[in-house]
């Protein structure tokens, strides 16, 4: 079983300071949260940028500042979101890929997202896949519904994605695939041999699905984007606190936590394009 890759999803596009007072918003706050998460055991930081008033933004300049500040503080893998918020245009969403990060997210299908619709038509995810290939960016395939796996495999067949693939199973978003061990097992069984995968359990499902992933040999994402609580009714103090819990459980189970360098090797990341 490979070492465990822990991703810290630091901010997201939905959570507000009113809901979680410790939410990092500015580039410096996000970079500091990345450092703390790294020190707690994270090897990847998944980043949504915000404006100074807390609104989600896909502005390349803001992501560039965040990326620079994180790289100055620690060696984690910087993984920007191309999901943005549900109202961002395709052009806005793809701006962070132009920075040639080592990884970026790629959602290969449309689904309900609460009362909104997270729109990812085929033209968009084909365009995103092409750009990531051109820029040497490793896509993390975001799977909210099972059909998104099939869409990703068609991209491989069409030469737009290279194997081995890395998937993130996002389970428990209202309107999309529910968070259950059965669903996670089905998704894992549906991806090609040699693929790597992470699970992101939303809300109260974060820790329980993480423990299942630990035992199954998968990887884990935690953080304020997915869950703002440490225990029921008790807000988490930081993203790092959520990371540290997973690292502690992994140690109890005898599974070592991967360093950023080890995570890069497991994921087969390409050299960066400057």
- Determine, yes or no, domain membership for 274: no
Write down the pLDDT at residue 1. 82
Q: Is residue 202 part of a domain?
A: yes
**pLDDT (0 to 100) of residue 86:** 84
Per-residue pLDDT, averaged over 58-66, amounts to 97
**Is residue 272 included in any domain, yes or no?**
no
Indicate if the pLDDT at residue 183 is higher than 60: yes
Residue 249 belongs to some domain of the structure: yes
pTM here is 0.96
Summarised one tens digit per residue, pLDDT across range 252-268 is: 999 999 999 999 999 99
Nearest CA to 228 out of 246, 202, 210, 209 is that of 202
Instruction: Give the mean pLDDT of 171-188.
Output: 97
Rounded CA separation 94/15 (Å): 21
**Residue 107 is part of a domain; what is its CATH number?**
3.20.20.70
Say which residue, 84 or 30, is predicted with more confidence. 30
Average pLDDT of the residues in 39-60: 97
Q: What is the mean pLDDT of residues 231-255?
A: 97
Q: What mean pLDDT, rounded, does the chain reach?
A: 96
The pLDDT tens digits for 69-110 are 999 999 999 999 999 888 888 899 999 999 999 999 999 999
Find the domain containing 52 and state its range: 6-267
pLDDT of residue 87: 84
Instruction: Phi first, then psi: give them for residue 239, nearest 5 degrees.
Output: -60, -40
Question: Does 62 map to a domain?
Answer: yes
The pLDDT of residue 245: 98
> Do residues 109 and 151 make contact, with C-beta atoms less than 8 angstroms apart?
yes
Question: What average pLDDT does the segment 208-215 reach?
Answer: 97
Q: What is the strand order of the sheet 44-47 is part of?
A: 77-80, 44-47, 6-9, 219-222, 196-201, 166-171, 138-143, 103-107
**Tokens linked to 239:** 């993203």
Any idea how long the chain is? 274
The candidate with the shortest Cα–Cα distance to 15, out of 241, 236, 231, is 236
**Number of independent structural domains in the chain:** 1
Contact partners, residue 24, CB within 8 Å, separation at least 6: 10, 11, 30, 32, 33, 224, 239
For the cut 80, the answer to whether the pLDDT of residue 271 exceeds it is no
Q: Does residue 273 carry a pLDDT above 50?
A: no
Q: Is residue 1 part of a domain?
A: no
Q: How confident is the model at residue 274 (pLDDT cuts 50, 70, 90)?
A: very low
Which residues share a beta bridge with 116?
A: 113
Q: What is the mean pLDDT of residues 34-49?
A: 98
Quick check: is 273 in a domain? Answer: no
Asked if the model's pLDDT at residue 209 lies above 60, the reply is yes
Is 244 among the domain residues?
yes
pLDDT of residue 192: 97
Q: What percent of the chain has pLDDT over 70?
A: 98
């Amino acid at each position: 079983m490979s070492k465990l890759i822990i991703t810290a999803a630091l901010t997201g596009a939905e959570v507000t300071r009113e809901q979680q007072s410790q939410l990092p918003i500015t580039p410096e706050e996000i970079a500091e949260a990345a450092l703390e998460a790294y020190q707690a055991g994270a090897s990847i930081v998944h980043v949504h940028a915000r404006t100074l008033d807390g609104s989600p933004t896909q502005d390349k300049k803001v992501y560039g500042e965040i990326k620079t500040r994180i790289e100055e503080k620690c060696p984690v893998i910087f993984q920007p979101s191309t999901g943005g918020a549900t109202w961002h245009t395709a052009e806005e969403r793809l701006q962070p890929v132009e920075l040639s990060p080592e990884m970026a997210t790629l959602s290969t299908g449309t689904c309900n997202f609460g009362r909104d619709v997270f729109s990812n038509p085929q033209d968009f995810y084909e365009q995103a896949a092409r750009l990531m290939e051109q820029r040497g960016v490793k896509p993390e395939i975001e799977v909210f519904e099972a059909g998104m796996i099939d869409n990703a495999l068609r991209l491989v067949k069409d030469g737009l994605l290279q194997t081995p693939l890395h998937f993130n199973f996002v389970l428990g978003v209202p309107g999309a695939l529910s968070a259950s061990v059965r669903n996670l097992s089905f998704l894992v069984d549906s991806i090609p041999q040699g693929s790597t995968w992470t699970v992101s359990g939303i809300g109260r499902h974060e820790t329980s699905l993480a423990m299942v992933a630990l035992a199954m040999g998968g990887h884990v994402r935690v953080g304020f984007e997915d869950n703002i609580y440490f225990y029921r009714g008790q807000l988490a103090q930081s993203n790092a606190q959520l990371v540290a819990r997973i690292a502690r459980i992994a140690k109890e189970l005898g599974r070592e936590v991967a360093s950023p360098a080890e995570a890069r090797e497991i994921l087969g990341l390409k050299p960066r394009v400057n």
